A and B are shown apart, each in its own frame.
Chain A
Amino acid sequence: MSATKNVHDVRIIVFACRWCGLIGADGAGRERTALPASFRVIPVECAGFVEPDLIIRALADGVTGIAVLGCHLGGCRFSDGNHPALKRLELLRTLLDTTGIGGRRLLIGFGTAHESHQFAEMIREFHRELSELPSPGTWLAGTMKRQ
């Protein structure tokens, strides 16, 4: 299972807050940075919107990884929406690790609107990391079998 998988099997959902993460993603586009075509951006108002439910549902739907991008801590548009978001998602990451799904499938990133290079770097790195993990079909099937 350790063989590097076909890059197109990586499926990333990016929840990007529209004040920072989304503008960063947009900047990467404007600079025409080459990125793997494995991610889909869903704009949200704030990183705090992203409930753990959605992430678990996405994983169950066969998504390999989820990135949640918000403003820098202390620079949240909604005064401190990303603090509770961070706590919540870190907790979820522990849960994913405990259940064997793997906390590495959840990326939490904070950046400002002009940090497009950071966005590009984050996506590339996340893509590379996920392509080394088994595809989600494998772990879903695995859990089924054990039951």
Chain B
Amino acid sequence: MGMVHVILCRCFGELDSALDLEGIRTRLEGHSDVASVDTAGSLCLPGDAAAVFSRVLERGAKKVLIGCCSPFGRGNVLRDELIRGGLASSDVVSVDLREGCAWIHGKDPAGAVKKAWNLLDMGLASLGRAGRSDNVTVRVQPRALVIGAGASGLSAAATLAGLGFETHLVERTAAPGGLLNLISRTYPTGESGPDKLKGFIGEMERNPLITFHSGTRVESVKGYGGDFKVRVVSSGEAKLIRAGAVIVATGARVLLPRGMMGYGSLKNVITQMEMERRFFTGKVDCTAAVLLQCAGARSPERPYCSTICCPLSLKNAKRVLKEVPGSRAYVLHRDIMTPGSVLEAYYREALRAGVQFIRFDPQKPPDILGEEMFKGVEVDDAVTGIRRKIDADLLVLSTPLIPDPENQKLAEILDLPVDRYGFFEETYPLHPVETRVDGIFICGAARWPVSSDQAIQQGETAAMKAAAFLSHEKIPALLQSPVPGGKAGHARADADFCTGCGNCTAVCPYGACRLQKMNGRSVSRVIKVRCKACGNCISVCPNGAMQIPERSDRAVGEMIRRAFREVC
């Protein structure tokens, strides 16, 4: 007489007809691990499922095996229902008898029956041998810290405060605003940068929930999602902020094209940012402006597209034509990147306004003419193949956004990965603002070049994600995971077997394994709230010290042993 109560679903006769469920039931009743076997007509029907589940739970079942459809069908739902009914998540297993067996082996009925039996047997093996990870609970500090008060940081702080969360906004310079302070007009609305932020800055000053720390840098971060202890320093004075979530909104820098295309050596060769400053002060005097795209971008050292320079150039070219009557504007480009209906319309507007577009081959960049003073360009038009000479008196270089040089240091402090260029990296493309550390979110140009509108939207997104995180009073570590329904368990290092080789710390994608001194030697310790139970540490451990109790060697080994066991 075993411990496991088995529930088999007929699936409206789908499984019955293919798998000889009655025979399997009789044999299961004789299995040494099984306490009882129930069959249900269909567990999809709420009445059926409730009746069977309550019957099984009344018998005092501690471990339940469900033979039904795949976990992505109803399997996981049924499992969750039993867990809600009071069973431990490690003690309920659903076995996929429909998609994984009945539906694909119709041509081999005997093989299908044997496989169904083996699958159930493997489920029993895993229930019998698997252990249970001990859970830990984090008490969440209902407070957020936003690093960087640019467009994305301000919008994140305003959103969080609007939702009622205390928010600390840390900015290394004296005033909020970031790069947008330097933009005279943003595309596509034409609003000025500072105007765009006025609402957010007003909110920041008005709302008592937002504390603004100017001239402050983050020095160290300790703790984990739900309870970070952040040390910030402002002019030599250190402060400790305990925050449940951290939003990284540090933005990006604009590349200064030193030594490129005559920048620095020729007069009237400027960057787009200087162009913006000229618009601010109203000193635009040129008869012909050449705007050169991809200056320093999409090159071997910076192969990415900065995404904002094309619309920016369209905007500035149009503005030159409008503000200086009789002037000409040329955009030299490799290809114009204006995705979406709004920006595409923006491009057509520029065409109508008289901006001339000349496409050049990246192999043959335009020649810059002039000594001391910029005189014009000579360029091979890639469309017509004709070499054109353009007389102009202003060259504007569209340089890309580059990662902030301080990203590397901040990444080390926060234990976040940066990509090969130096931007912060999200954990998974489907989770664009989440990082490998739960409770730390990234947004805006800190993660990738974005326009001001996108930065504001991403700030809101990160704030919503952070709010969802902060609204828990406590978070059990087993649920603290991007995985729906929680994770399989936690890895555990057995100090008796650990040799302190450090393989696990090197391979862990989440920085959950740490080497610690214990009785004079190093042993690995797993931070449970960080572990996502991927199991990479287990396969690199040379001495078998690492285990996930739910998926222990014993359990999986026994599953393999029973995978082809003859029908008993």
Binding site for B on A (CB under 8 A): 8, 11, 13, 18, 22-23, 25-26, 28-30, 32-38, 40-46, 48-54, 57-58, 61-63, 75, 77-81, 84-85, 88
Contact A40–B72 (Cβ < 8 Å):
no
* Complex-state Cα separation, A81 to B536, whole angstroms: 6
Contact B536–A58 (Cβ < 8 Å):
no
The B104-130 residues at the A interface (CB cut-off 8 A) are: 104-108, 111-112, 114-115, 118-119, 122
* Complex-state Cα separation, A7 to B509, whole angstroms: 41
Given contacts A34-B107, A48-B539, contact A42 B99 (CB under 8 A): no
Contact B106–A32 (Cβ < 8 Å):
yes
Contact B122–A42 (Cβ < 8 Å):
yes
Q: Considering the complex of A and B, which 3 residue pairs feature the smallest CB-CB distances, nearest first?
A: A29-B99, A49-B535, A37-B111
Can you list 14 A-B pairs, Cβ within 8 angstroms, ordered by A? Answer: A11-B564, A25-B99, A28-B104, A33-B104, A37-B114, A37-B115, A45-B551, A46-B535, A48-B536, A50-B539, A54-B557, A61-B561, A63-B564, A75-B429
Closest to B533 in A: A45
Q: Is B436 an interface residue (CB 8 A)?
A: yes
B503, chain A: closest CB distance, angstroms: 10
Contact B72–A49 (Cβ < 8 Å):
no
Given contacts A29-B104, A42-B559, contact A48 B534 (CB under 8 A): yes
Contact B560–A52 (Cβ < 8 Å):
no
Other-chain contact of A35, B72, B105, B119, B488 (Cβ < 8 Å)? B105
* Complex-state Cα separation, A53 to B544, whole angstroms: 10
Given contacts A25-B100, A84-B507, contact A78 B536 (CB under 8 A): yes
* Complex-state Cα separation, A33 to B532, whole angstroms: 33
Contact A61–B436 (Cβ < 8 Å):
no
Other-chain contact of B536, A22, A49, A54 (Cβ < 8 Å)? A49
Question: Which residues of chain B have C-beta atoms less than 8 A from A38's C-beta?
Answer: 111
B541, chain A: closest CB distance, angstroms: 8
Contact B100–A77 (Cβ < 8 Å):
no
* Complex-state Cα separation, A84 to B509, whole angstroms: 11
Other-chain contact of A13, B71, B101, B436, B560 (Cβ < 8 Å)? B560
Instruction: Determine the interface band of chain B, counting residues with CB < 8 A from chain A.
Output: 35 or more
Given contacts A42-B560, A51-B539, A54-B556, contact A81 B106 (CB under 8 A): no
Question: Which residues of chain A have C-beta atoms less than 8 A from B209's C-beta?
Answer: none
Question: Which residues of chain A have C-beta atoms less than 8 A from B12's C-beta?
Answer: none
List 10 additional contacts besides A26-B96, A32-B103; criterion CB under 8 Å.
Answer: A8-B111, A29-B103, A30-B103, A36-B111, A40-B564, A49-B535, A49-B536, A51-B538, A54-B560, A63-B560
Contact A37–B108 (Cβ < 8 Å):
yes
Closest to B428 in A: A77
Contact A81–B509 (Cβ < 8 Å):
yes
Contact A52–B539 (Cβ < 8 Å):
yes
B431, chain A: closest CB distance, angstroms: 10
